[in-house]
Structure 1
Amino acid sequence: MKNLTIYLSMLFCGMVVLSSCHGEKEPPPPLTYTGENPRVQDPLSPEDSQKHIQLPEGFKAELYAAEPNIINPIAFTWDERGRLWVVQSKDYPHGLANDVGGDRITICEDTNGDGRADKFTDYATDQNLTTGITLVKGGAIVSQAPNMVFLEDTDGDDKMDKRTVLFEGFGTWDTHAGPSNLRYGVDNMIWGSVGYSGFENQFRGKPVEFKMGVYKFTKDGSYFEPVGQFNNNTWGLGFNENFEIFGSTANNNHCCYVGIPLKHYDYLNKMPSWAINADFIQGHYEITPVDTIPLQQVDVRGGYTAASGANFYTARNYPEEYRNQMYVCEPTGHLVHIAKIVKDGAGYKEVDGGNIFASTDAWTAPVFAETGPDGNLWVADWYNPVIQHNPDKRGMDNQIWNADKGEGNAHLNKLRDYGHGRIYVITHEDGDDPDITSLDPKDDESLLEALESDNMFWRTTAQRLIVENKKVSLIPDLINMAGNNEVDKSGLNTGALHALWTLKGLGALDGSNAAANEVVTKALNSSSYGVNRAALALLPATKESSEILAQSGLLSSTDPQIKLAAVLRAGELPESNALYTEIEKLSKDEASTSDKWINAAIKIYFRELNFQEVDPSSVVMLVPSAEEKKSTWNYTTDKPADNWMKSEFDDSDWKMGTAKFGGDNMKQVNTPWSSSDIWMRQEVLVSDEITEPVIKIAHDDDYEIYVNGQLLISETGSSEAYKYIKLDSEKGGLFKKGKNIIAVHCANTGGNQHIDMGIGKVGKIKADVTFVLNTVNQEMAYDKKTLHATAGQTVEIVLNNKDQMSHNLVVIQPGSLDTFGAMVDGFLKNPEAEKMGYVPKSRYVLGATDMLTPGVTGSVIFKLPDTPGIYPYVCTFPGHWRMMQGVIVVTALGSYISEDKEALKISAMGGGGSHDFLKFFGVADGEILSEGGKNTFIYTENSMELGTLIPTTDVLLLSNNKPLDKNTRNTIINRVNAGDMNLLIYHPSTWYNWEDWPEYNKTLVGGGSRSHEDLQEFEVRVVKPDHPIMKGVPSKFRIVDELYRWEKDPEAEIEVLAVSRGLKSGEEYPTVWIVKHPKAKIVGNTLGHDERAHGHKAYQTILKNSVNWVEK
């Protein structure tokens, strides 16, 4: 009943949007159904289905082509003759194994002018997994994962006769997450999108890896560039008439904007928190279907779960409000949505524009919509009852999908249809017949006229034909066109924009044609933003261009989008004083720095490294600021010598003052400073290496900090509050053990002034217990559904997202699951939900990871309440929380401290990667080794803490692969060599972990492992049954673990007690051994990956016997 109410309300809304002014209308033909579970609607004829389509007032959907001529249309485009080229994808989604593919590309023509295709020519047949198409000279470039292919017609008979693979690298494991939406770009490149199957290859000697999003490449396939990184399955790419880049993703991000292409971040290994490449600008969650039947949706029910396409309407047949808006298909909702794009600072945001096309026919499945040569929007209707791709167990009433996995990661379904397909044309009653119906590549005058067409299709096609046919004779005409400064009422000058890019394509902007370069410079002053943007992109990378840009006024434009484009281009041009000055002004302009796009562009210009503000609680201060303790500096306000920051500089005649330095009107100032500049120096002692220095700084205005004469950091602007900035390890290398000279210069550029700073290093909020979880690929689950912790503990959960969808992990209070889940469901309708990781503000939330895109690792640290209980954790991505759950079983903490002061003291070291160290080597093994209070067991993952424990330790259990500090290493060696401490070396510590500590493996471990077999069952055989460590251990047993390929060091003396044999490989390796050390007893054991080892009776017996043996 609840679903019925929702869908009836949606029906009403859709009717209002689409039919409010149509008046009385003949009812559509009735629908009939077959079957019971599921009950499936029967297909309609093209003519009857057409009557179920609803459109806004004044619009009409006309049928252009249908079965049997067109089946399963997935993409289309047009050639210069105005002919429609349709990709019929009958192989999708299971066709990967076919020797001869079932896809075809068909050219459709209307030869009698009745608006219906009547001639069909198969350009290419027997193709496989064809998902995108664009036309170039000589044929079609098509995406056929794993390849990008050129299907060429060498003799002009409209038949492909040559196939060339341009490049490979697209993933094929999931066929609905591959390449799609190919199109010819205004920049004369080929553009496309790719889903989470991803891309990996090498171009021009450099590896290219790309998870998902939009990209571009050269027509010959020699160059590939990722442009926009999206966060889930991407099946949409679109350009507006200013050639700005947009896209869509299938799952709840139906509108994306690429404001800063990824190339601008190439100087960074990892994008910092301030960086932004693509923004998810959707303004709403819900779709507004007009069907009364519950939609067949899995993940984002009632929203966009299969969004495809992101094309703009770029002609003039439709009313103004429909132009330059984005049209997104949602086949599961049987509709084409209008995503209204409006300016938002230097970026954009989407406003819900309703639908331009929606059907009550449950088979209607729009998958692609694009502006055609006639100035109308054309729609590919997949026409199929089965749209859902993924196998999935989650159910709904009358569910049509299932969990039976087939090829291409698609569920097997006999209801998938391979006999229908339709192409519609959406016309408007006030639309005109096109001025252009065909272009002849030999007709130069027509090509030039087409560059100024009011239809972007003809402009782009004319540009392509001129460039491909190298019509350099048209360069003078193109220069004249590019110099035209007239704009239409929308502020567009599309002819000039295309003329500029055509000049680029002809090579006229390589510096050989002064007039062409001059027109680019003049275009910077155009009244059209799109022309400004094109001119900026086409400025040659010369010093002259830097000066031109600095003087152009674009960097100080009142239009933030022009400013963004100008700053980004400035970052690609050679440096000049004038250009630097202009950018520096921007960096102090609050209106600019408060815009996330411009702020990022400014940081890119300055090549700001991955500075990251850190949590103050995680910082260990080494050089205190005034906030920690009294901090005294030598200082001067008179400009010193140029070497003032050097260690050897003599500052004995400087004054002494206590931080904070600043004006009289500033708080907590201890030493007045009123001049324009101040220079400060302080000598500090550093006892440890600083790998990740953290600057704690409060400043007004610009400052620079030096360490031992080398620049550590400099910033402009001001910050009254202290901020913490983490620097990289290269900066950490400027510090040395012992004496260091810290030198600071601060300049007041106006207004208030103050300076204080301190230096720390990154510590870590120490977690009492750390759990490492993975999302299970394609199962909508975490790999661990039950965790164990203790009341009052600080818990860290690391989540590795190994699924192909976004996930997070949110820990909530006991008993709040259903209430919190309802909050999550309601919160999804909030336009800000996605930006907030779909985590509503709630007192139930104890902690949450970020929403993690596929392949990303995140973590959350939180403190458990003191109350034991069952604490749920869930994923709050739309539709996930009911299935994706787990619990933390929180119990009261029992220590392993013996009341017997003479008890055996066991210290254990864990930590590193690939294991849950605390859970297994700490909690599980600790419980065994403590023997109910007989022994004291202390576990740590802190190397320095271990160093303090070792002097009083009788037995040391090493089970770590994280490094040990040098002092702790020496303490271990010395104590073992003295015979004062015995060793148990387990699992990860039997590895060759540390190349800089060879003594460890040679003298303590007796060898090591460099690899292991897969985690699986193998056989352990005891070879020394009479040894005390093997007492009570079965002569043979099987265990699920990692079989380490452990090898003895040639110089070591060991006695092997047990060996393991791979059941598949048959290979045998030592598993338990003793090292014959002259002073100490040492036991090595490679077992212990997870609970299947630590919970094994034989493992526990060996562990207990080992500690008893070394004790004696």
Structure 2
Amino acid sequence: MEVEEGFQVALVASEPLVIAPVAMTFDNAGRIWLAEMEGYMPDTLGTGEDAPVGRIVILTDQDGDGQMDDRKIFLDSLVMPRALCLVGGGLLVAEPPNLWFYEMKGDTPTNRILVDSAYAEGGNVEHQPNGLLRGLDNWIYSAKYDWRYRRRPDGKWLKEKTHFRGQWGISHDDWGRLYYNDNSSNLSGDYFPPGLGAGNPNQRRVAGYGETIVADKRVYPIHPTPGVNRGYMEGILDSTGRLVNFTAACGPLLYRGGLIDGMNAFVAEPSANLIKRNVLDTEGFRVTGKQAYQGKEFLASDDERFRPVNLYDGPDGSLYMLDMYRGIIQHNTYLTPYLKNEIAKRNLTLPLSMGRIYRIFPTDVKRTAVAIPRNTDSLILLLGHPNGWVRDQAQRTLIDQRANDGADKLRDLLRKDSEPLRMIHALWTLEGLGQLTSDDILIAMNHPRWEVRAQALAALSSLKNTLSADQLVDFLKITVSQGDTLLAPYAMLTMAALSAEGISEVTPLYEQWAKTYANDRYVTDAFISGIGGHEKSFLHELERGKSDTSTALYRHLASVVDAIDEKSKGEDQALLAKRYPKGAILFQTACQPCHGEDGRGVSPIAPPLAGSEWVKGKKERLMALVLYGLTGPVEVAGHTYETPEVSGEMPGIVHNPAIEDAELAELLSYIRNAWGNNVDDQILPEDLGAIRSRFGDRAEPFVQSELHELFGKD
């Protein structure tokens, strides 16, 4: 490996202690709980991926030298486990399609509870939920998913809608904002609290969520990397055979360990055998960033089996890295003949039973691993620790231990301690214990730092069952002054959450602010997030009042209403799924992760299918596109989609033997009739056969202009 000057890489564990690691978490004693996905792609066909060979193991450093030397199996015989989270004295484990909670005694599972039978339902391995990150707000969030979870003190689990985020890996900063990415982007994230703004199912995009944080996708491998899926295409590799842009970005980490100056986000790229460092900056609530270096990486290896797949903070402030260490990293769903040949040519299939964990740290900084105590007073002291992992773990432990005896001391922190991070951890710990009061909120709302006041607004909605509606409205009125564009989006998001809960008393203030901030896209979208089901009536009210149709409020609301009308024109999706059952299932597994359940596209991955001329137009053109793929900018309904708005690459499935023409024909007929597309010209298996005969073993995807030339633009 080559690592940035001034940093050191140290081995934490390797095979046989570690086999195909994909996710980990630390417990309070500094032990590593690890998910091992040994069944992933044993060969280019994915033979045996359904075998129960996955595990959850516990690694311990018994002699304190920084390297793990003991391995204990907590769970075995799992099929492709992909995420885990210690919470409430037990372990949450994602084993598709299920999300399980294991109660335990010591290091032994004693009872298994099904939290969700559809956590990772459908989709292939590259497009299933993962992460299970305990956020600052005490909810558990996932990448590639739009639901969040929380365990109540009585042991019951809550499940709520949230924003759809990312693909593999998820992280948060000191203020609880979430960060994520997809395979071909660098870093995306949220400006606002994760639990707000997702209340309107008719609203596709909410400004301030899913924002591009670092747009630059350039990577700098230190050796030729021909073994990438589309390495045969122009522009994928440079003149020396090295990957040009991200193609397998994953495992983003907003580093909070306290040893590296500044605000840094690290991103893994296993296809190019490297880790990217980005430097972030904030202006108000907006977060932007750039790559730390041009022409080189934070860490890069010349070993093509080096596969960093996830990054974490740790108890000593180091950056921890999971290296899956294997030759095949691309799932067979999208495996091109080119890459299959590269795998065979260089014998990349074996070995399989390997894996590494490393930690990276500055060489000139003292590191001290912090063991998390059980004592309430000691835990409260750790809420101000410079290592964000320690602060998080202290908060979580206080909540998991139901440390209600610490409520008064937590309030003392709010009253007497102006240090913002310690205060917000105290605030959210009280919330997690069910001890948060209006007085606590009021103290935080009077803090000189706007970030702390924003946290108070985010926490206010958790008091909806204990405060009167009038009290809630009064809190909102005293928090944000007229024209305060910094806090106004937070207040509007909170009002939207309260409005969605049926607290009608906020409506007058809510609607007044919508008109006051009619040209603020963040406030406008926050407002729309709370009026699900009433969009048309509010739009009609604006029209009756002869409101300016050029405002962000009018334009954004009108676009949501247009989408509702378009969706209502379509054939009932349940009836359509009965008509094309194989197509509906294949859509769910192969298309939905990128194009969305409603066919309206997933940013920043893929454009919409609903209303798309590519779907509704000539069926021969659609079949060619789906079989052989499409690369580069694409125009849909008058809008040109290109990176970073979408990934810029749709892989073809012509070489995937697992998908038969009968299934694919149903899929294409399904999408041509879904979401108001309503095309009666059914696609048959023999139609696909004709396209295969015409283009044969073509390996490269089409570009838009070529498809227009071959099949016409209409």
Task: Give the alignment's TM-score, normalised by structure 1.
Answer: 0.48
Do 1:547 and 1:579's aligned partners in 2 also have CA atoms closer than 8 Å?
Answer: no
CA distance in 2, matches of 1:494, 1:260: 15
**Gap change, CA 1:84 and 1:415, over 3 Å in 2:** same
**Gap change, CA 1:151 and 1:179, over 3 Å in 2:** same
The match for 1:390 is 332
**SS of the counterpart of 2:82?**
strand
Q: Residue type of the partner of 2:497?
A: E
State the structure with bigger RCO (CA 8 A, min sep 6), 1 or 2. 2
**Gap change, CA 1:414 and 1:264, over 3 Å in 2:** same
Superposition pairs of residues 699-1098 of structure 1, within 5 angstroms = 705=544, 714=545, 716=547, 719=550, 806=606, 824=633, 833-835=643-645, 880-882=701-703, 886=707
**SS of the counterpart of 1:153?**
strand
Superposition pairs of residues 660-671 of structure 1, within 5 angstroms = none
**SS of the counterpart of 1:255?**
strand
Q: Deviations over 1:383-415 (max 9, x none)?
A: 11111113446454884359xxxxxxxxxx980
**Gap change, CA 1:484 and 1:573, over 3 Å in 2:** farther
Q: Deviations over 1:279-302 (max 9, x none)?
A: 344412322222233342349943
Do 2:180 and 2:189's aligned partners in 1 also have CA atoms closer than 8 Å?
Answer: yes
Number of residue pairs matched by the alignment: 601
CA distance in 2, matches of 1:400, 1:776: 31
Q: Does 1:565 align with 2:490?
A: yes
The match for 2:190 is 257
CA distance in 1, matches of 2:222, 2:676: 40
Do 2:139 and 2:150's aligned partners in 1 also have CA atoms closer than 8 Å?
Answer: yes
**Gap change, CA 1:103 and 1:221, over 3 Å in 2:** farther
The match for 1:165 is 114
CA distance in 2, matches of 1:277, 1:178: 20
The match for 2:224 is 292
The match for 2:389 is 457
> What is the deviation of 1:860?
13
CA distance in 2, matches of 1:179, 1:727: 27
CA distance in 2, matches of 1:288, 1:831: 26
**SS of the counterpart of 1:571?**
helix
The match for 1:330 is 269
Do 1:781 and 1:883's aligned partners in 2 also have CA atoms closer than 8 Å?
Answer: no
Do 1:497 and 1:530's aligned partners in 2 also have CA atoms closer than 8 Å?
Answer: no
**SS of the counterpart of 1:249?**
coil
Larger helix percent: 2
Q: Deviations over 1:472-505 (max 9, x none)?
A: 1111001011234523xxxxx2111111111112
Which one of 431, 456, 465 corresponds to residue 535 of structure 1?
Answer: 456
Do 1:74 and 1:368's aligned partners in 2 also have CA atoms closer than 8 Å?
Answer: yes
Q: Residue type of the partner of 1:502?
A: T
Q: Does 1:379 align with 2:330?
A: no
Do 1:254 and 1:282's aligned partners in 2 also have CA atoms closer than 8 Å?
Answer: yes
> What is the deviation of 1:362?
0.8
> What is the deviation of 1:146?
1.1
Do 2:163 and 2:198's aligned partners in 1 also have CA atoms closer than 8 Å?
Answer: no
**Gap change, CA 1:307 and 1:275, over 3 Å in 2:** same
**Gap change, CA 1:166 and 1:823, over 3 Å in 2:** closer
Q: Does 1:107 align with 2:28?
A: no
The match for 1:130 is 81
Superposition pairs of residues 177-256 of structure 1, within 5 angstroms = 177-194=127-144, 212-213=145-146, 215-218=148-151, 220=155, 222-230=157-165, 234-252=167-185, 254-256=187-189
CA distance in 2, matches of 1:801, 1:500: 37
The match for 1:64 is 12
Do 2:40 and 2:49's aligned partners in 1 also have CA atoms closer than 8 Å?
Answer: no
Which one of 14, 21, 25 corresponds to residue 73 of structure 1?
Answer: 21
Task: Give the alignment's TM-score, normalised by structure 2.
Answer: 0.72
Q: Does 1:421 align with 2:349?
A: no
Q: Does 1:342 align with 2:289?
A: no
The match for 1:92 is 40
CA distance in 2, matches of 1:854, 1:117: 54
CA distance in 2, matches of 1:343, 1:860: 46
**Gap change, CA 1:367 and 1:727, over 3 Å in 2:** closer
**Gap change, CA 1:92 and 1:291, over 3 Å in 2:** same
**Gap change, CA 1:587 and 1:605, over 3 Å in 2:** farther
CA distance in 2, matches of 1:449, 1:383: 39
**SS of the counterpart of 1:215?**
strand
Do 2:129 and 2:143's aligned partners in 1 also have CA atoms closer than 8 Å?
Answer: yes
Do 2:187 and 2:215's aligned partners in 1 also have CA atoms closer than 8 Å?
Answer: no
CA distance in 1, matches of 2:102, 2:495: 40
Do 2:206 and 2:525's aligned partners in 1 also have CA atoms closer than 8 Å?
Answer: yes
Q: Does 1:318 align with 2:257?
A: no
The match for 1:945 is none
The match for 1:20 is none
**Gap change, CA 1:476 and 1:427, over 3 Å in 2:** same
**Gap change, CA 1:260 and 1:606, over 3 Å in 2:** farther
Do 2:495 and 2:506's aligned partners in 1 also have CA atoms closer than 8 Å?
Answer: no
CA distance in 2, matches of 1:174, 1:583: 43
CA distance in 2, matches of 1:298, 1:727: 37
Which one of 506, 512, 515 corresponds to residue 587 of structure 1?
Answer: 515
Superposition pairs of residues 638-717 of structure 1, within 5 angstroms = 705=544, 714=545, 716=547
The match for 2:364 is 430
Q: Residue type of the partner of 2:364?
A: D
The match for 2:659 is none
> What is the deviation of 1:703?
6.0
The match for 1:304 is 246
The match for 2:690 is none
> What is the deviation of 1:584?
2.9
**Gap change, CA 1:835 and 1:111, over 3 Å in 2:** same
The match for 2:292 is 353
Do 2:193 and 2:458's aligned partners in 1 also have CA atoms closer than 8 Å?
Answer: no
**Gap change, CA 1:572 and 1:857, over 3 Å in 2:** closer
**Gap change, CA 1:884 and 1:187, over 3 Å in 2:** farther
> What is the deviation of 1:373?
0.5
CA distance in 1, matches of 2:586, 2:504: 51
CA distance in 2, matches of 1:781, 1:125: 29
CA distance in 1, matches of 2:513, 2:65: 61
**SS of the counterpart of 2:645?**
coil
Structure 1: give runs of 5+ residues left out of the alignment: 1-52, 195-211, 403-412, 488-492, 510-515, 614-693, 696-701, 706-713, 733-761, 764-773, 783-797, 840-852, 862-873, 892-918, 920-1112
Q: Residue type of the partner of 1:538?
A: A
Do 2:402 and 2:433's aligned partners in 1 also have CA atoms closer than 8 Å?
Answer: yes
CA distance in 2, matches of 1:389, 1:727: 36
Q: Does 1:365 align with 2:165?
A: no
**Gap change, CA 1:175 and 1:396, over 3 Å in 2:** closer
* CA-atom RMSD in angstroms: 4.8
**SS of the counterpart of 2:292?**
strand
**Gap change, CA 1:527 and 1:96, over 3 Å in 2:** farther
> What is the deviation of 1:856?
7.9
Do 2:140 and 2:149's aligned partners in 1 also have CA atoms closer than 8 Å?
Answer: yes
**Gap change, CA 1:567 and 1:837, over 3 Å in 2:** same
Do 1:703 and 1:716's aligned partners in 2 also have CA atoms closer than 8 Å?
Answer: yes
Which one of 517, 535, 538 corresponds to residue 438 of structure 2?
Answer: 517
**Gap change, CA 1:535 and 1:134, over 3 Å in 2:** same
Q: Residue type of the partner of 2:140?
A: I
> What is the deviation of 1:242?
0.3
**Gap change, CA 1:388 and 1:555, over 3 Å in 2:** farther
CA distance in 1, matches of 2:150, 2:381: 28
Do 2:17 and 2:70's aligned partners in 1 also have CA atoms closer than 8 Å?
Answer: no
Larger strand percent: 1
**SS of the counterpart of 1:564?**
helix
